[in-house]
Amino acid sequence: MYKVIEARLFQGYHTGRFPAVAPKLPDHFQGWPRLKAGSCPQDCRACVDICPAKAVSVSADGPQIDCGRCLFCAKCATVCPRQAIEFSQEYRLGTFAREELIAKPGEDSWTPPTTGNAQCRDFCGQSLKIRQVSAGGCAACELDFNVLNTLAWDMGRFGIKVVASPRHADCILVTGPVTRNMHLALQKTYNAMARPCWVIACGACAISGGVFTDSPEAHGGMENIFKPDLYIPGCPPHPTTILEALLRLMGRC
């Protein structure tokens, strides 16, 4: 017993102070894109052609990025001849509507929406029980979500907890493009949940299918099955992005 107390005192306090203190992100972190307005060179589709997820399009106003598809690899920024694309360090990427994930030219700054599901805030403002389902994911989104249970993040201090049974869950957090083999399991998990319940699409694959959008073995994301209440983009989303979005869903951030 004394050795445990001694070890605890020696280790000190390791849990981050987010959201009271802004997170320290690595220099290579790619957040919400900033797109320069103005016409692109004629017939230039370098950014479109290099995007592995088909997230970039070009209009008369300039490039446009669907962050629900985007892998945040920044390849488009490296090939743009007029440097019209750059990725900021804005980590607050979670939204409550699919159309809010479209980054348009000329938007110098982006503020995440604060108006979410009022019923969810009323039910889950102090605690949120999550059943996580990996619907054919590569495990990257799953790992970054699991990180939130570690000492460094400790999402339990906000009343957020992962539960084993969907019958004990307030919401279902889905990762992966929803493969054909996982479709029935996901449907059964959702049907087993008590009502009201909410759906969270975590990662590009869950939102849009990501790089598997055109695969006959995947359903191209959650919207073809259930309508998500919260979208958390990224490939994978940074743990800070996930935690901030969950807190905003609860009305605590």
pLDDT tens across the length of the chain (253 residues): 778 777 767 766 678 888 888 888 999 999 999 998 887 877 788 999 999 999 999 988 889 999 999 999 999 999 998 899 999 999 999 999 999 999 998 876 777 777 777 888 888 889 999 999 999 989 999 999 999 999 889 999 999 999 999 999 999 999 999 999 999 999 999 999 999 999 999 999 999 999 998 889 988 888 888 899 999 999 999 999 999 999 999 988 7
pLDDT at 152: 87
Tokens of 21: 């203190």
pLDDT at 11: 66
Per DSSP, the chain holds a count of helices (H) and strands (E) of 8, 10
- Radius of gyration, CA atoms only, the chain: 19
Task: For residue 203, give the nearest of 112, 102, 71 by alpha carbon.
Answer: 71
Q: For residue 235, tell me if it sits in a domain.
A: yes
Tokens of 170: 């307030």
pLDDT at 10: 73
Residue 90: other Cβ atoms inside 10 A: 18
Tell me the torsion sign for CA atoms 240, 243, 245, 250.
Answer: negative
Q: For residue 203, tell me if it sits in a domain.
A: yes
What's the Cα-to-Cα distance from 30 to each of 85, 88, 236, rounded to whole Å?
12, 6, 11
- The domain that holds 188 is classified in CATH as 3.40.50.12280
Q: For residue 190, tell me if it sits in a domain.
A: yes
Provide the greatest CA pair distance for the chain: 73
Q: For residue 21, tell me if it sits in a domain.
A: no
Q: For residue 25, tell me if it sits in a domain.
A: no
pLDDT at 163: 96
Question: Contact 177/219 with Cβ under 8 angstroms?
Answer: yes
Q: For residue 173, tell me if it sits in a domain.
A: yes
Q: For residue 74, tell me if it sits in a domain.
A: no
Q: How far apart are CA 178 and CA 48, in angstroms?
A: 25
Domain count of the fold of the chain: 1
Q: How far apart are CA 8 and CA 4, in angstroms?
A: 6
- The residue range of the domain holding 159 is 118-249
Tokens of 140: 């990257």
pLDDT at 90: 94
